[in-house]
Structure 1
């Protein structure tokens, strides 16, 4: 990721943060719409899960300028997700739901540059997490 991409992700996330609860609802609704099979991995009451999602996103976004600061937590998170039933093929689906949610939440502020920055951020982090949880061969697929 370039410094400009990091800045774009951080600036646009600051616009989503005030509506984080709504954004989390939109995200999970979209995720369960496009991948109904993953819904069973989540609790029936999603209140805490939505808070965790937005809290984790905030930590990651704020840590993008010093990526090594968030990698240990990302590694631990990836390994915990294996226990919940997450598989490498779920990561692109989650990424798609995240980008779709951001596009809806940001409206006109969702530009091609913003889309590219978020795609790079998610790709970097998800690739690392897949590698940590399943090994580097899975991350390359």
Structure 2
């Protein structure tokens, strides 16, 4: 990911921050609408998870310029998701819902260039997460 891509994602995310709660809820509405099979993986009240999603997005987006430093956090997130039943096939589904959500909330400001930047950023991060999912589970107590 180059500097321009990171800048486009970070600048566009600033427009998401004031409407973060709506963005999180829209994301899950889109996800469940397009892929109802994932709905049972989540609690009935999606609002707490929607807040967590936007908080995690903020952490990742703000850390894109120092990607190697956040990769361990992103990998740990993937390992936790594996425990919840998330599979490799879910990542493109999530990416699709994310892009649809951003298009919806950012409107005309979500240009093709910004969309491409978000797709590249999501692909980069999902690759890290997928790799981490395939790591063997870590033993309790730090012993391998």
For Structure 1 versus Structure 2, the TM-score category normalised by the shorter chain is over 0.9
Look up the match of 1:134: 134
**TM-score (norm. length: structure 2):** 0.92
Instruction: Give every structure 1 segment of 4 or more consecutive aligned residues whose post-TM-superposition deviation is greater than 4 Å.
Output: none
**Do structure 1's residue 109 and structure 2's residue 130 form an aligned pair?**
no
Look up the match of 1:45: 45
Comparing 103-112 and 54-63, the one that deviates more: 103-112
Say which one has the larger Rg.
2
Q: How does 1:49-64 map to 2 (within 5 A)?
A: 49-64=49-64
Deviations 1:83-134 (A, max 9, x none): 1110000000000000010011111111111011000000000011001112
**Do structure 1's residue 80 and structure 2's residue 80 form an aligned pair?**
yes
**TM-score (norm. length: structure 1):** 0.93
Residues of 1 paired with 2:86 and 2:108: CA distance? Answer: 33
Q: Secondary structure at the match of 1:53?
A: helix
Look up the match of 1:5: 5
- Residue segments in structure 1 that go unaligned for 5+ positions in a row: 136-141
- Residue segments in structure 2 that go unaligned for 5+ positions in a row: 136-144
Look up the match of 2:99: 99
Greater fraction helix: 1
Residues of 1 paired with 2:45 and 2:115: CA distance? Answer: 31
